[in-house]
Structure 1
Amino acid sequence: MATFTCDSCGKCCSSFGSFIAIERQMNDRDYYCRYSLTRDRFPVHVDAEYTDEVSERYSAPAGTGGSAGKRPCPFLCRKKDGVGLTCAIYATRPQVCREFRCYRMLVYDSSGHLSGKVIGAGEISTVDETLARLWKEKILSLPHAHPAGANDPVWVKTVTGILAAHRYRGDAVE
Structure 2
Amino acid sequence: MTFTCRQCGTCCMYLGDYIVIDHQIGPFEFSCESVSTGTTFTARVDEDKREIFRNHTFPDENPHACRFLRPEGSFLRCTIHTDSPAQCKFYRCVIMRITGPGGNPLGTVTGTLNLHSDDTLLRARWETAEKNIPESLPDVEERRKVYLTGHGYMVE
Query: Which is strand-richer, 1 or 2?
Result: 2
Partner of 2:103: none
Deviations along 1:11-53, one digit per CA (max 9) or x if unpaired, are 0101110111111211112111001122110111101244365
Partner of 1:73: 66
Partner of 2:133: 163
**Counterparts of 2:95 and 2:50, CA distance in 1:** 32
**Counterparts of 2:83 and 2:140, CA distance in 1:** 32
Please list every run of 5 or more consecutive structure 2 residues that lacks an aligned counterpart in the other structure. Answer: 97-107, 142-156
Partner of 1:136: 122
CA spacing shift, 1:137–1:12, aligned 2, 3 Å: closer
SS at match of 2:26: coil
CA spacing shift, 1:23–1:56, aligned 2, 3 Å: farther
Partner of 1:83: 74
Partner of 2:86: 95
Partner of 2:39: 40
Partner of 2:151: none
**Counterparts of 1:137 and 1:53, CA distance in 2:** 40
> TM-score normalised to the size of structure 2?
0.61
Contact 2:21–2:31 (8 Å) recurs in 1 = yes
**Counterparts of 1:137 and 1:96, CA distance in 2:** 25
Partner of 2:101: none
**Counterparts of 1:41 and 1:54, CA distance in 2:** 21
**Counterparts of 2:55 and 2:123, CA distance in 1:** 49
Deviations along 1:32-87, one digit per CA (max 9) or x if unpaired, are 10011221101111012443654664xx9xxx8357xx6110010112xx221110
Please list every run of 5 or more consecutive structure 1 residues that lacks an aligned counterpart in the other structure. Answer: 106-116, 125-134, 143-157
**Counterparts of 2:70 and 2:114, CA distance in 1:** 28
Contact 2:7–2:75 (8 Å) recurs in 1 = yes
Task: Please identify the structure whose Cα radius of gyration is greater.
Answer: 1
CA spacing shift, 1:52–1:24, aligned 2, 3 Å: farther
> TM-score normalised to the size of structure 1?
0.55
Contact 1:54–1:74 (8 Å) recurs in 2 = no
Identity %: 26
CA spacing shift, 1:56–1:83, aligned 2, 3 Å: closer
Root mean square deviation of aligned Cα: 3.6
What is the aligned residue count? Answer: 122
**Counterparts of 1:45 and 1:31, CA distance in 2:** 6
